Every structure is written in C-alpha cells, then in structure tokens.
Amino acid sequence: MACVVVATEKRKALVNGHIVPSIRDQGFDEVVVTANYRDRNVNLYVPDTYRNTLDALVRKQRALEATESDVLVYVSDDHYLDDCFLEGLRGRLKHLPGGPDSDVNCLSNDWDILCPWRFTRRDHHLISLNMGKDGAPDGGRDYVGGHAGIYRRSMLETVSWQDVLDKALEMEAEGLNALFYDTWGTHMMVDAGGVLCYCEYGDAVAVVDIEHYLDPRVEPWR
C-alpha cells in the first residue's frame, strides 16, 4: 500500500512535525510526499500550475504515476494518520472490522473508494467531522472530502485525477466554479461503477484534523 501526502509550503511545519511522523512507522510499502516546495521530506516536487486547489489534482495524478501499489491512501497537509490506521486498513482488506462501530456494509472487501473516519481533538474532547457521507450542503449525493481518501488503483485507472482535472478545466472555461471537485469528482468515479464506503465513528482507519495547530480559530465542525 502507498501513502501520498499532498502538501503546500504554507503547511510545511505540519508535514514535517506531525504528518510524516504519523506515516513513517506504520509500514507502508510506498510513501510519497508531493509538494510545491523542496524539502528533506518531499520526494516528488511538483510546482504550482494553477495556483489554486486544482494543483492538488496535478500532484495526486503525479503520485499515482510514481507508485505501483494497488491501494493508495491520500492525505492532505493538515491531517495526520491515527496510530493504528494501516493496521485497521489491512484488517479491512482481510474482511475484518476496522473498529467496534464500523459500518457493516463496509466490513467486506467490496469497495473501490474508502473514506476514513475524520475527527479532531479540542480541550480533551474528540469531535467527529464531516467527510461527505451525508451529501453536499445543498442536499446532493455523498462524496469523499479532499482531506483524505483511500482508492484502489483500478478505480483511479478507470477515472483518474487527470480526468477530474480535465473536467474542472472545462467547467472553468464555461465560467463555472470548479474548485469543489471533491463532490462531482467522487460522483464521476461512482457513476463509472466505483463502490464508495465510509468508516464510522471509532474506526481505526482514521485521520486527525490539525489545522488549528497553525490557526487556533479554525473550527472545522462548523
């Protein structure tokens, strides 16, 4: 399995101090840190092209091409992997529960896109965060938030990040806002036959939001 960190220079401190350490000892076969800056932890430098969130799609595609693993874990530069993330994921791949409260529908190996449980900690309290299971704010279909996601290579060979980027550029050419590609990008994959599953509260396959380490005012649950 591969773990890909999609990073930007403004969060380099989080990448070096928290995210890479959370990955290093878990036992991934491949680890790629792709970023718009050069650093000791960055092994796939990809400069900005669009200077907006579309650059993340470019980095995701480059990481896909640079790896060989059948399963890829993508994580953004303001989330780290919980301690037992890879152990829980391996258990799920072996048809074992990822945690005591896992979604029964996702205990099998029948998924193409797996959305980890996402949470943050504030004042010794654990707060579960949205990852798209209840659909978009406008009442739309379920999706995977860009904070983190687990994808089978076969899914990304059917609908690649380049395919999502191409559609985003088409939308921009038509004067549409393409920056919320988390939603319709997921729908492209599901419409192509991808099976989407979610990890539930308490699952070992979890990511922790730490954006508040840089800005204490951030409240991702709102």
- pLDDT above 70 for 207: yes
β-pairing, 44-45 vs 206-209, is: unpaired
User: Reduced to 3 states, what is the DSSP secondary structure of residue 122?
Assistant: strand
pLDDT tier, 136 (very low <50, low <70, confident <90, very high otherwise) = low
- pLDDT above 80 for 45: yes
The per-residue b/e assignment along 51-90, b for 16 or more CB within 10 angstroms, e otherwise, is: eeebbbbbbbbbbbeebebebbbbbbbbbbbbebbbebbb
Burial (CB count <10 Å: 0-12, 13-18, 19+), residue 139: exposed
- For 29, the token pair is 């076969």
pLDDT for 79-121, tens place per residue? Answer: 999 999 999 999 888 754 444 344 434 545 689 999 999 999 9
Is residue 88 within 8 A of residue 178, CB to CB? The reply is no
Superfamily of domain 2-213: Spore Coat Polysaccharide Biosynthesis Protein SpsA; Chain A (3.90.550.10)
Q: Identify the residue with better confidence: 221 or 44.
A: 44
Whose tokens are 């798209």? That residue is: 132
Whose tokens are 């005591």? That residue is: 100
- For the chain, what is the largest distance between any 2 Cα atoms, rounded to a whole number of angstroms? 47
Is residue 189 within 8 A of residue 155, CB to CB? The reply is yes
pLDDT for 50-86, tens place per residue? Answer: 999 999 999 999 999 999 999 999 999 999 999 999 9
Is residue 164 within 8 A of residue 185, CB to CB? The reply is yes
